[in-house]
Chains A and B, each alone.
Chain A
Amino acid sequence: AQSVTQLGSHVSVSEGALVLLRCNYSSSVPPYLFWYVQYPNQGLQLLLKYTSAATLVKGINGFEAEFKKSETSFHLTKPSAHMSDAAEYFCAVSAKASRGNEKLTFGTGTRLTIIP
C-alpha cells in the first residue's frame, strides 16, 4: 500500500521568499514520486518527478524537490516565489507494479498564496 501526506493545506509566502511545500510518503516498494500543480479551472500539470535516478530533481518554473529516503520525504522548493506560482500543489506516489498499470496516489493538496 502507498500513501502521501502533505503537511499544510494552505501556505502563504511573500513574493521573492523561499517556497517550501512538504510531502511525506509511505510505500512498501521503491516509489516514484511526483509533484503536480493545478491553476484555477485547469487540470493538473506535471512539475517534476523522481524515478530512482538523481535524488535532487529539477522541474519547470524553477521548482525542485529532493528525495530523502531516510525521512520518506519529497519536499518541493523554489528559492524565490513569484505571483504566478499561486496555485494548488499535489504530491503523488506511484509504486512499480510487477503487473498491471501504474497507479498514482495523491495527497490532499497544498494551496499556495503569494503575498505581494
Chain B
Amino acid sequence: ETGVTQTPRHLVMGMTNKKSLKCEQHLGHNAMYWYKQSAKKPLELMFVYNFKEQTENNSVPSRFSPECPNSSHLFLHLHTLQPEDSALYLCASSQGRDRFTYEQYFGPGTRLTVT
C-alpha cells in the first residue's frame, strides 16, 4: 500500500448505529487530518493530530470521536449520527509542524450515508 488509504470506501448506517472509519498513511508523516466534504460546501476541517496529539477540534459535534493510536493510523468513531452528517469524509496527512512543508496528501475518502 502506498500513500493514504481509507476504509471502508462506502458506508451506510442508521442513526442508532456505531461505526468507525479508518485511515492509514504510508508516507512517514507526523500529522493527520479529518475533513468533511459536503455537496456545495467548502471542505471542512474537523480534527488535526500532530505526533498523536490532537491539536485542533473544529467545533465538531461529540457524535464524532477521533482516535490516533500512532502517527500512521487515524480513526473516526461515529455514533447516533444525523442525516445531515452524510458526506464524503477525507483523511489527509502531512509531514508535520516542525517542517515547512505544508502540502497535505489525501486518501480516497469514505462516502457515508446516514439513513
Contacts and interface: CB of A to CB of B under 8 A. Distances in A.
A43 B106 CA distance: 6
Given A42-B108, A43-B108, A97-B97, A102 B42 contact: no
Interface residues of A, number: 25
A109 B56 CA distance: 24
A24 B25 CA distance: 31
Contacts of B4: 43
A115 interface: no
Contact of B102 (A41, A104, A106): A104
A43 B107 contact: yes
A90 B43 CA distance: 9
A44 B90 contact: yes
A63 to B, nearest CB: 15
B40 to A, nearest CB: 8
Interface string A94-109: 1011011111101111
A46 B94 CA distance: 12
Nearest to A6: B42
25 contacts: A34-B102, A34-B103, A36-B106, A43-B90, A43-B107, A43-B108, A45-B106, A46-B105, A49-B103, A90-B43, A96-B100, A97-B97, A100-B50, A100-B55, A101-B31, A101-B50, A101-B55, A101-B96, A102-B31, A104-B45, A104-B102, A106-B42, A107-B42, A108-B40, A108-B42
Interface of A: 32, 34, 36, 41-46, 49, 51, 90, 94, 96-97, 99-104, 106-109
Interface of B: 4, 6, 31, 40-43, 45, 48, 50, 55-56, 90, 92, 94, 96-97, 100, 102-109, 111
